[in-house]
């Protein structure tokens, strides 16, 4: 869609054989190649520091040739060219082998002492020294004849591309030139509308591609990169603005408050006073529900900030107005718990049709995939007939088989597993002219403003900032895993809590010891290299740890339960119930307990292999303890050498309870730093340059521009290139990431 030249297969441009290795990097068309941006720029004057090469690493280094000598090998026969390159301090050796010395003369004559070049290959250690065998290389300034041109070439930043062994960076560079040189702005359709581009003062698409791929100066590539970064932000924000506009255009039934209804009765029997935040957000939501555009709201608030009550009040307003509400949880355990909580909070108000019900009452039912057929049938009937005012379930609830008499509100709890796609599916239920339900999405993961703007740009955001008074803070400490005295003390603390009638969570990253994939539900940091390389012990697993704890003298006689995502819903429920009741006061689990689970007696949490979890996730986890009046304690058992990233992250977590600060630090520290996945999938549709924390100002500007554009032209009819870019961005890979984010 972006112009024929843009879509041209690389095979036709470079030749089928030459195009082969490009396909290996997922680059199939001219456009793919041009969007394959340099990872960094080498400057001919600045040599790569050779002190930190590690074995097995595929590297591209800028270095100076010190010497190169060919000799024949008496022992094995054949010849070897040994060259040594340097960064000025350290040396790296290059080895080329051949049957005859003559075959190596060509390299020998090119690799003259003092010549600068880029060398690429896989690092090996040979007799204690770093070596590249048969490296590919490119010498600086040797391909140009005239001296002036050579001088210019010798000072130009050299793009270094994400490359592969089969495709060194300079071959990518040459191919880019071949493709880019004949291209003009007319050959491509720039997704950035001209008016926006001019207002913000950015170069055109082809010009920016030239600037990043063939810069003469650092300013060049910075200018090109900034424009491409803005483009990413803009496309994303336009996608969000369009969703928002489309959602707002769907018809909805207004559900104003009803005097003397269930909501009023509920407020009257609330055992506590709503916090100021709950009142403000509640008023905002009440207003949204009464309007005739669908509510699209994200409610964020720390664990324990009282979101459930806010959601329940919204649901009651809708029930009072004759509609139904659905509450979706990410897991069946949580759905079951929500059912219990809602019924408790509502008391007789939830007992419609039962003895002892209030005069005005409704029914709250549970609908899950694993419930018994009879119960499920009854719940389906209650939903379809309208007898159930509130239906609680997992996301499966919105599957096609569930009918509602009049679904007026969908509340999604813990949205971070509820991506853009699910939101769209929800909005597009029914036909074009059908009414849609209001939507309230809740999250306990604090989302920095720019992330909210990026990932949830289609939602209005409300935040509960205070936690109801009277809750004790959680103290967090890091325990070095290799310190026997400290770990012994950890289990002794668990024992003390149990003896005092309290409970302990023990969280592991995996379910079983032979489980290579990691836990079903653990959101482990991806791409985080192991600090200790291959010698690292395997991750702790639920079943193995449970067995081990059972043999510890410190926990003698203490009953230990287990919980993980591979158990049946009934078994999970039993495990939670046994823990809540204190029959198994120690619960070893994966992160299934991460969200929502509420056991007020739980006072201590031990996280094993804590360095493997994200900061926000750990913060979320520790919110599970200290829910009652006893202060909470969180012990992070970790292998995190002093000074490592992991140690920094864990120290940050121990040092603050501010979830927003943690979420921001988490984002900054993550190597693939961006919420949207970007480079890790390497697919055509992912974001490459944008980083949501760093680029906050740029994203905000792009959002304003995008919203203004969509306000003027909701269907983006005048901007087919932008539409195409939006569609491309929404391809499955980006989608998947959002769903996981
Ligand atoms: P969240 O879902 O935000 O983690 P919950 O809604 O589960 O928080 O609330 C946590 C606990 O605090 C619940 O036991 C709830 O009944 C209680 N709670 C909610 N609002 C208030 C309030 N205003 N005052 C006192 N307790 C409250
Ligand atoms: Mg909750």
| pLDDT recorded at residue 625 | 87
DSSP letter (8 states) at residue 520: S
**Alpha helix locations (H) across 291-372?**
307-320, 332-346
Summarize the chain as % helix, strand, coil (round to 5): 45, 20, 40
3-state SS, 30-87, equals: HHHHHCCCCCEEECCCCCCCHHHCCCCCEEEEEEEEEEEEEEECCCCCCEEEEEEEEC
pLDDT at residue 520 is higher than 90: no
| pLDDT recorded at residue 640 | 84
DSSP letter (8 states) at residue 602: E
pLDDT at residue 685 is higher than 80: no
Give the ligand with the smallest distance to the CA of 309: 1
- Pairs from 18-25 (Cβ < 8 Å, separation ≥ 24): 18/175, 21/164, 21/166, 21/167, 21/171, 22/167, 22/172, 22/175, 24/164, 24/166, 24/167, 25/162, 25/163, 25/164, 25/167, 25/682
Closest atom of ligand 1 relative to the 309 alpha carbon: 6
Query: Which residue's CA is the nearest one to ligand 1's atom 26?
Result: 468
Pocket test for ligand 1, best of 277, 310, 468, 626 (most atoms within 8 A of CB): 468
Query: Sorting pLDDT into bands at 50, 70 and 90, what band is 58?
Result: confident
**8 A C-beta contact, residue 727 and residue 710:** no
**Alpha helix locations (H) across 568-692?**
569-581, 615-622, 645-655, 659-669
φ, ψ dihedrals at 312, nearest 5° = -65, -40
**8 A C-beta contact, residue 42 and residue 158:** yes
| pLDDT recorded at residue 529 | 33
Does residue 634 sit in helix, strand or coil? strand
Residue 593, token pair as written in the block? 């307990």
Query: Which residue's CA is the nearest one to ligand 1's atom 5?
Result: 306
Gap from CA of 218 to ligand 1 centroid (Å): 54
**Rounded to the nearest 5 degrees, what angle is found at the Cα of 385, between the Cα atoms of 383 and 388?**
45
Q: Cα(168)–Cα(22) distance, rounded to whole angstroms?
A: 11
Gap from CA of 441 to ligand 1 centroid (Å): 17
Closest atom of ligand 1 relative to the 623 alpha carbon: 4
Q: Cα(344)–Cα(334) distance, rounded to whole angstroms?
A: 15
Nearest Cα residue to 494 out of 608, 597, 387: 608
Q: Cα(490)–Cα(497) distance, rounded to whole angstroms?
A: 11
Query: Which residue's CA is the nearest one to ligand 1's atom 15?
Result: 306
pLDDT at residue 736 is higher than 50: no
pLDDT average, residue stretch 375-398 = 91
Query: Sorting pLDDT into bands at 50, 70 and 90, what band is 420?
Result: low
| pLDDT recorded at residue 75 | 75
Residue 504, token pair as written in the block? 């302990």
With tokens 């806010």, the residue in question is 310
Torsion of CA 11, 13, 17, 21, to 10 degrees: -80
Top-confidence residue, 659 or 709: 709
Closest atom of ligand 1 relative to the 600 alpha carbon: 14
| pLDDT recorded at residue 519 | 39
Top-confidence residue, 643 or 635: 635
pLDDT average, residue stretch 705-712 = 93
Query: Which residue's CA is the nearest one to ligand 1's atom 23?
Result: 274
**Alpha helix locations (H) across 275-433?**
276-290, 307-320, 332-346, 373-385, 420-427
Gap from CA of 315 to ligand 1 centroid (Å): 16
Q: Cα(31)–Cα(1) distance, rounded to whole angstroms?
A: 11
Query: Sorting pLDDT into bands at 50, 70 and 90, what band is 168?
Result: confident
Gap from CA of 310 to ligand 1 centroid (Å): 9
| pLDDT recorded at residue 138 | 82
| pLDDT recorded at residue 544 | 93
Give the ligand with the smallest distance to the CA of 659: 1
| pLDDT recorded at residue 419 | 61
pLDDT average, residue stretch 184-203 = 92
pLDDT at residue 446 is higher than 60: yes
Query: Which residue's CA is the nearest one to ligand 1's atom 9?
Result: 306
Gap from CA of 608 to ligand 2 centroid (Å): 25
- Side-chain-side CA neighbours of 474 within 13 Å: the count stands at 31
pLDDT in tens, 497-511: 999 999 999 999 988
Q: Cα(177)–Cα(200) distance, rounded to whole angstroms?
A: 28
pLDDT at residue 393 is higher than 70: yes
pLDDT at residue 559 is higher than 70: yes
Q: Cα(263)–Cα(382) distance, rounded to whole angstroms?
A: 21
Does residue 447 sit in helix, strand or coil? coil
Q: Cα(244)–Cα(230) distance, rounded to whole angstroms?
A: 20
- Pairs from 532-537 (Cβ < 8 Å, separation ≥ 24): 532/639, 536/639, 537/639
Closest atom of ligand 1 relative to the 301 alpha carbon: 3
| pLDDT recorded at residue 432 | 61
Q: Cα(46)–Cα(674) distance, rounded to whole angstroms?
A: 29
Pocket test for ligand 1, best of 266, 308, 343, 601 (most atoms within 8 A of CB): 308
φ, ψ dihedrals at 119, nearest 5° = -125, 135
Looking at the chain, the whole-number percentage of residues with pLDDT higher than 70 is: 84
pLDDT in tens, 121-158: 888 988 888 999 888 888 876 655 556 666 666 678 88
Gap from CA of 284 to ligand 2 centroid (Å): 19
Gap from CA of 333 to ligand 2 centroid (Å): 13
Looking at the chain, the whole-number percentage of residues with pLDDT higher than 90 is: 45
Q: Cα(181)–Cα(186) distance, rounded to whole angstroms?
A: 13
Strands 363-367 and 388-394: parallel
Nearest Cα residue to 481 out of 533, 523, 540: 540
| pLDDT recorded at residue 730 | 65
Strands 58-72 and 116-126: antiparallel
φ, ψ dihedrals at 682, nearest 5° = 65, 10
pLDDT average, residue stretch 710-722 = 90
| pLDDT recorded at residue 148 | 63
Q: Cα(699)–Cα(3) distance, rounded to whole angstroms?
A: 27
Question: Ligand 1 pocket by C-beta < 6 Å: which residues?
Answer: 272-275, 278, 301, 303-309, 444, 468
Residue 673, Cα to own-chain centre: how many angstroms? 9
| pLDDT recorded at residue 739 | 41
Query: Which residue's CA is the nearest one to ligand 1's atom 18?
Result: 306
pLDDT at residue 524 is higher than 50: no
Q: In what helix (H) or strand (E) does residue 633 lie, and over which residues does it extend?
A: strand 632-638
Q: Cα(632)–Cα(647) distance, rounded to whole angstroms?
A: 22
Give the ligand with the smallest distance to the CA of 310: 1
Closest atom of ligand 1 relative to the 413 alpha carbon: 2
pLDDT at residue 733 is higher than 70: no
Strands 324-329 and 296-301: unpaired
**Of the ranges 423-427, 568-572, 676-680, which one carries the lowest mean pLDDT score?**
676-680
pLDDT at residue 326 is higher than 90: yes
Q: Cα(558)–Cα(573) distance, rounded to whole angstroms?
A: 20
Top-confidence residue, 43 or 596: 43
Gap from CA of 21 to ligand 1 centroid (Å): 57
| pLDDT recorded at residue 627 | 74
Gap from CA of 613 to ligand 2 centroid (Å): 21
Q: In what helix (H) or strand (E) does residue 564 lie, and over which residues does it extend?
A: none
With tokens 């170069």, the residue in question is 203
| pLDDT recorded at residue 671 | 40
Give the ligand with the smallest distance to the CA of 344: 1
Query: Sorting pLDDT into bands at 50, 70 and 90, what band is 53?
Result: confident
Query: Sorting pLDDT into bands at 50, 70 and 90, what band is 515?
Result: low
Query: Sorting pLDDT into bands at 50, 70 and 90, what band is 532?
Result: very low
**8 A C-beta contact, residue 699 and residue 453:** yes
**Of the ranges 254-263, 402-411, 457-466, 671-680, which one carries the lowest mean pLDDT score?**
671-680
Give the ligand with the smallest distance to the CA of 446: 1
Q: Dihedral of CA 639/645/648/649: which sign?
A: negative
The highest-confidence range among 528-532, 652-656, 732-736, by mean pLDDT, is 652-656
pLDDT at residue 740 is higher than 50: no
In DSSP terms, which residues pair with 167 in a beta bridge?
164
Pocket test for ligand 1, best of 309, 339, 622, 623 (most atoms within 8 A of CB): 309
Query: Sorting pLDDT into bands at 50, 70 and 90, what band is 643?
Result: confident
Q: Cα(305)–Cα(302) distance, rounded to whole angstroms?
A: 5
Give the ligand with the smallest distance to the CA of 306: 1
pLDDT in tens, 227-281: 999 999 999 899 888 888 888 888 899 999 999 999 999 999 999 999 999 999 9
Q: Cα(653)–Cα(670) distance, rounded to whole angstroms?
A: 15
CB atoms within 10 A of CB 315: 31
Closest atom of ligand 1 relative to the 303 alpha carbon: 4
Query: Sorting pLDDT into bands at 50, 70 and 90, what band is 677?
Result: very low
Does residue 686 sit in helix, strand or coil? coil
Residue 290, Cα to own-chain centre: how many angstroms? 34
pLDDT at residue 45 is higher than 60: yes
**Of the ranges 347-356, 512-521, 714-723, which one carries the lowest mean pLDDT score?**
512-521
pLDDT average, residue stretch 165-179 = 89
Top-confidence residue, 728 or 242: 242
| pLDDT recorded at residue 642 | 81
Residue 92 gets the label, from left (phi > 0), alpha (psi -120 to 50) or beta, of beta
Query: Which residue's CA is the nearest one to ligand 1's atom 17?
Result: 306
Nearest Cα residue to 328 out of 319, 315, 316, 317: 315
Gap from CA of 700 to ligand 2 centroid (Å): 30
**Of the ranges 128-132, 571-575, 612-616, which one carries the lowest mean pLDDT score?**
612-616
Query: Which residue's CA is the nearest one to ligand 1's atom 20?
Result: 306
Give the ligand with the smallest distance to the CA of 341: 1
**8 A C-beta contact, residue 300 and residue 462:** yes
Gap from CA of 305 to ligand 1 centroid (Å): 6
Q: For the chain, give the mean pLDDT.
A: 83
pLDDT average, residue stretch 443-465 = 76
Top-confidence residue, 223 or 140: 223
Closest atom of ligand 1 relative to the 302 alpha carbon: 3
**Of the ranges 120-134, 173-187, 446-460, 676-690, which one carries the lowest mean pLDDT score?**
676-690
With tokens 């140690």, the residue in question is 647
Nearest Cα residue to 505 out of 622, 332, 340, 638: 622
């Amino acid at each position: 869609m972006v112009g024929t030249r843009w879509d041209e297969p690389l095979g036709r441009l470079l030749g089928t054989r030459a195009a082969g290795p490009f396909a290996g990097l997922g680059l199939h068309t001219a456009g793919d190649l041009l969007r394959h941006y340099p990872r960094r720029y080498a400057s001919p004057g600045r040599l790569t520091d050779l002190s930190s090469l590690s074995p097995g690493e595929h590297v591209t280094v800028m270095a100076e040739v010190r010497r190169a000598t060919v000799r024949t090998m008496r022992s094995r026969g054949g010849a070897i060219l040994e060259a040594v390159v340097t960064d000025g301090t350290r040396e790296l050796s290059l080895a080329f082998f051949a049957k005859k010395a003559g075959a190596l003369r060509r390299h020998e004559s090119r690799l003259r002492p003092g010549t600068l070049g880029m060398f690429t290959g896989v690092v090996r250690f040979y007799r204690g020294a770093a070596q590249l065998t048969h490296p590919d290389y490119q010498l600086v300034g040797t391909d140009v004849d005239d001296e002036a041109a050579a001088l210019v070439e010798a000072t130009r930043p050299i793009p270094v591309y994400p490359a592969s062994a089969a495709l060194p960076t300079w071959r990518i560079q040459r191919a880019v030139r071949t493709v880019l040189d004949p291209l003009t702005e007319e050959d491509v359709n720039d997704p950035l509308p001209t008016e926006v581009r001019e207002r913000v003062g950015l170069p055109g698409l082809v010009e920016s591609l030239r600037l990043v791929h063939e810069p003469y100066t650092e300013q060049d590539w910075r200018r090109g990169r900034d424009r491409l970064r803005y483009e990413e932000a803009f496309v994303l924000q336009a996608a969000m603005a369009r969703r928002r506009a489309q959602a707002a255009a769907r018809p909805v039934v207004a559900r104003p408050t009803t005097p003397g209804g269930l909501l009023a009765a509920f407020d009257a029997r609330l055992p506590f006073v709503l916090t100021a935040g709950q009142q403000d957000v509640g008023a905002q939501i009440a207003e949204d529900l009464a309007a005739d555009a669908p509510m699209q709201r994200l409610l964020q608030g720390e664990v324990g900030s009282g979101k459930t009550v806010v959601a329940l009040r919204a649901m009651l307003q809708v029930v009072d107005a004759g509609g139904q509400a659905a509450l979706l949880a990410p897991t069946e355990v949580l759905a079951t718990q929500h059912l219990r909580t809602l019924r408790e909070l509502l008391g007789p108000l939830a007992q419609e049709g039962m003895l002892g019900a209030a005069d005005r009452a409704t029914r709250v039912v549970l609908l899950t995939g694993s419930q018994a057929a009879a119960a499920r049938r009854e719940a389906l009937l209650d939903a379809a007939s309208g007898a159930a005012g509130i239906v609680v379930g997992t996301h499966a609830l919105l599957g096609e088989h569930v009918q509602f008499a009049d679904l007026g509100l969908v509340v999604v709890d813990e949205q971070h597993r509820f991506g853009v796609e699910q939101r769209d599916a929800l909005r597009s239920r029914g036909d074009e002219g059908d009414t849609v339900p209001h939507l309230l999405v809740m999250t306990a993961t604090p989302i920095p403003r720019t992330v909210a703007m990026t990932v949830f740009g289609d939602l209005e955001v409300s935040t509960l900032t205070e936690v109801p008074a009277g809750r004790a803070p959680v103290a967090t400490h890091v325990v070095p895993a290799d310190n026997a005295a400290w770990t012994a003390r950890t289990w002794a603390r668990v024992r003390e809590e149990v003896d005092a009638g309290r409970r302990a969570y023990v969280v592991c990253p995996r379910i079983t010891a032979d489980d290579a994939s990691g836990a079903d539900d653990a959101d482990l940091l991806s791409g985080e290299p192991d600090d200790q390389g291959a010698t690292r012990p395997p991750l702790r697993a639920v079943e193995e740890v449970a067995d081990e704890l059972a043999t510890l003298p410190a926990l003698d006689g203490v009953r230990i339960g287990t919980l993980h995502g591979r158990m049946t819903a009934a078994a999970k429920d039993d495990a939670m119930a046994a823990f809540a009741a204190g029959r198994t006061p120690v619960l070893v689990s994966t992160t299934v307990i991460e969200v929502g689970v509420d056991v007020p007696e739980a006072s201590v949490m031990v996280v094993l292999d804590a360095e493997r979890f994200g900061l926000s996730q750990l913060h979320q986890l520790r919110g599970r303890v200290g829910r009652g009046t006893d202060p909470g304690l969180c012990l992070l058992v970790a292998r995190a050498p002093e000074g490592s990233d992991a140690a920094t992250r864990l120290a940050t977590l121990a040092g603050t309870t501010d979830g927003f600060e943690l979420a921001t630090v988490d984002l900054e520290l993550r190597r693939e730093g961006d919420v949207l996945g970007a480079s890790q999938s390497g697919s055509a549709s992912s974001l490459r340059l944008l980083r949501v924390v760093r680029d906050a100002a740029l994203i905000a500007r792009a959002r304003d521009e995008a919203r203004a554009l969509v306000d003027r032209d909701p269907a983006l009819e005048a901007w087919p290139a932008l539409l195409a870019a939006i569609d491309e961005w929404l391809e499955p890979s980006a989608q998947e990431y959002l769903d996981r984010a």
